[in-house]
Amino acid sequence: MSAIAFWGAVELGLVYGFVALGVFLAFRVLDFPDLTVDGSFPLGAAVAAVAITSGWDPWLACLIAALAGAACGLVTAFLNVRFGILNLLASILTMIGLFSVILRVMGRPNMAVLNQETVITPFLDLGLPDHIVRPLVLAVLVLIAVVLLARFLGSDFGLAMRAAGANPRMARANGVNVGGQIYVGMALSNALTGLGGALFAQVSGFADVTSGVGTIVVGLASVIVGETLLRSRVMLVALLACVIGSVIYRVAVQLALSMDLFFLRASDLNLVTAVLVALALVLPKIRAGKAVAR
């Protein structure tokens, strides 16, 4: 694997680090299996691509993408909290609907974001090679997100959100508005994912309506890899682990592809990821003897 390919994988891992943080928030904190991210990621990319090619400031484009993501999360939360639709199904409905929304936003299935002013471009003339600058800028951005999210989850409000996910009955008995927490948590989770999509469009140079397929599985894989390598109850470390997991996942994929491992092809990636995530979900249960008892 060349250095450029390696840094390219790190870069992609850092972009998907935002997704991993969002998935951690939904799955681990709120206990909400949320497939909305499969839609909010490409929507973030689409919104940012349209904004940037229209000459808007790239940071403003990121903000709008995050808000668009938050809106997706709110829709899913609304279907679940207000109407009691099963959380997984609610998120699938939002995801399916978003496919059409994205096509409307872009007016076509994909668009290029090449030779445009992005959040990376101001840092490109500082003397470092481009393939180093991009992951560096992304690392700073994702670290800021990690620190802010850790502070949030360590606050009174964040603690209430963790309780709402872990034990809703107890949370209610302690005056926590569980439905409200689901709204805020889902909005935040998908805002992070939308931001990830916006950055993806800027570093990859394109937005594509199909780029969201499997976002949830990749995010979950990152969370699981991170948890396996760096198990901690300190929130800052747990969040950092998600990002590191995302980077490791991408580097491992890149490594496997470059080595012509076994008989695998690039197109087998989705199957391999799905199998790995399934194993990671099943193994702890087998170890705990739960699967045997049922």
Partner 1 sequence: MIAVSDLHVTFNAGTPLERRAVAGIDLVLGEGEFVTVIGSNGAGKSTLLAAIAGDVFPRSGRIRIGDRDVTREAPAKRAARVARVFQDPLAGSCADLTIEENLALAFMRGSKRGFGPALKQERRSALRDKVKELGLNLENRMGDRMGLLSGGQRQALSLVMATLAGAEVLLLDEHTAALDPGMAEFVAGLTQRLVAAHGLTTLMVTHSMRQALDLGTRTIMLHEGRIVLDITGERRKNMGVDDLVEMFRRVRGGAELDDDSLRIG
Mention every residue, 6+ apart, whose C-beta is less than 8 A from residue 214. Answer: 38, 270, 273
- Euclidean distance between CA atoms 80 and 44, whole angstroms: 22
Is residue 92 close enough to count as binding partner 1 by CB under 8 A? no
Is residue 287 close enough to count as binding partner 1 by CB under 8 A? no
DSSP H or E segment with residue 111: strand 110-112
Number of residues binding to partner 1, judged by CB under 8 A: 24
Is residue 162 close enough to count as binding partner 1 by CB under 8 A? yes
Residue from 60, 128, 140, 173 touching partner 1 (CB under 8 A): that is 173
Q: Which stretch binds partner 1 (CB under 8 A): 41-49, 109-117, 149-157, 256-264?
A: 149-157
Nearer to partner 1, 169 or 294 (CB): 169
- Euclidean distance between CA atoms 219 and 273, whole angstroms: 11
Nearer to partner 1, 131 or 172 (CB): 172
Q: Which stretch binds partner 1 (CB under 8 A): 111-119, 171-179, 188-196, 219-227?
A: 171-179
- What number of CA atoms fall less than 13 Å from residue 87's CA on the CB side? 13
Give SS3 for 37.
helix
- Between helices 3-23 and 37-53, what is the axis angle to 10°? 120
Nearer to partner 1, 142 or 178 (CB): 178
Is residue 231 close enough to count as binding partner 1 by CB under 8 A? no
Nearer to partner 1, 2 or 177 (CB): 177
Task: Take residue 216 and report the two structure tokens written for it.
Answer: 């949830």
Is residue 278 close enough to count as binding partner 1 by CB under 8 A? no
Tell me the CA distances in angstroms from 90 to 5, 129, 225, one per residue in order: 38, 44, 27
Question: Which residues form the interface with partner 1 (CB under 8 A)?
Answer: 151-152, 154-160, 162-163, 166-167, 169-178, 233
